[in-house]
Chains A and B, each alone.
Chain A
Amino acid sequence: MRFVDEFRDPALATALIREIGVLSARLERGRANPIAVMEVCGGHTHAIFRYGLEGLLPDLIEFVHGPGCPVCVLPMGRVDDCVAIAERPEVIFATFGDAMRVPGSRKSLLQAKAEGADVRMVYSPLDALELARRNPGREVVFFGLGFETTMPSTALTVLRAAREGIANFSVFCNHITIIPTLRALLEQPDFGIDGFIGPGHVSMVIGTAPYRFIAQEFGRPLVVAGFEPIDLLQSLLMILRQMAAGEARIENQYARVVPEQGNPAALKAVAQVYEPRPTFEWRGLGSIAGSGVRLTEPYAAFDAERRFAVPDIKVADPAACRCGEVLTGAVKPWACPVFGTGCTPEMPLGALMVSSEGACAAYYQYGGVRGAAA
Chain B
Amino acid sequence: MCLGIPGRIVAISDPDAMLAVVDVSGVRRTVDVVCVAQESAPLEELIGVWVLVHVGFAMSRIDEEEAAATLKVLAEIGEMDGEMEALRTGSLDLLPQAN
Chain A interface (Cβ < 8 Å from any Cβ of B)? 1-4, 6-7, 9, 11-12, 14-16, 18-19, 22, 25-27, 41-43, 46, 68, 70-71, 96, 98, 123-127, 145-147, 149-150, 152-153, 156, 160, 199, 201-202, 204-205, 227, 230, 234, 237, 244-246, 253, 255-259, 263, 265-266, 269, 355, 357
User: Given A15-B80, A246-B99, A263-B35 in contact, is the A147-B70 Cβ separation under 8 Å?
Assistant: no
For B34, list chain A residues within 8 Å (CB): 156, 265, 269
**Distance, CA A287 to CA B47, complexed state (A):** 45
From B70, B80, B95, A234 is in contact (CB under 8 Å) with B70
Looking at A27, A265, A357, the one whose CB has the most chain B CB atoms below 10 A away is: A265
Is the CB–CB distance between B67 and A6 below 8 Å? yes
For B1-35 the 0/1 string (1 means CB < 8 A from A) is 11110101000000001000000010000001011
User: Given A150-B1, A244-B98 in contact, is the A263-B67 Cβ separation under 8 Å?
Assistant: no
For B95, list chain A residues within 8 Å (CB): 22, 26
Is the CB–CB distance between A70 and B1 below 8 Å? yes
Is the CB–CB distance between B2 and A41 below 8 Å? yes
From B8, B56, B74, A125 is in contact (CB under 8 Å) with B56
Within the complex, the shortest CB–CB distance from A266 to chain B, in Å, comes to 5
* Chain B residue at smallest Cβ distance from A16: B77
**Distance, CA A263 to CA B69, complexed state (A):** 21
From A18, A43, A46, A201, B59 is in contact (CB under 8 Å) with A201
- The residues in B between 25 and 71 inclusive whose CB is less than 8 angstroms from any CB of A are 25, 32, 34-37, 50, 52, 54-57, 59-60, 62-64, 66-67, 69-71
Is the CB–CB distance between B56 and A246 below 8 Å? no
**Distance, CA A146 to CA B2, complexed state (A):** 8
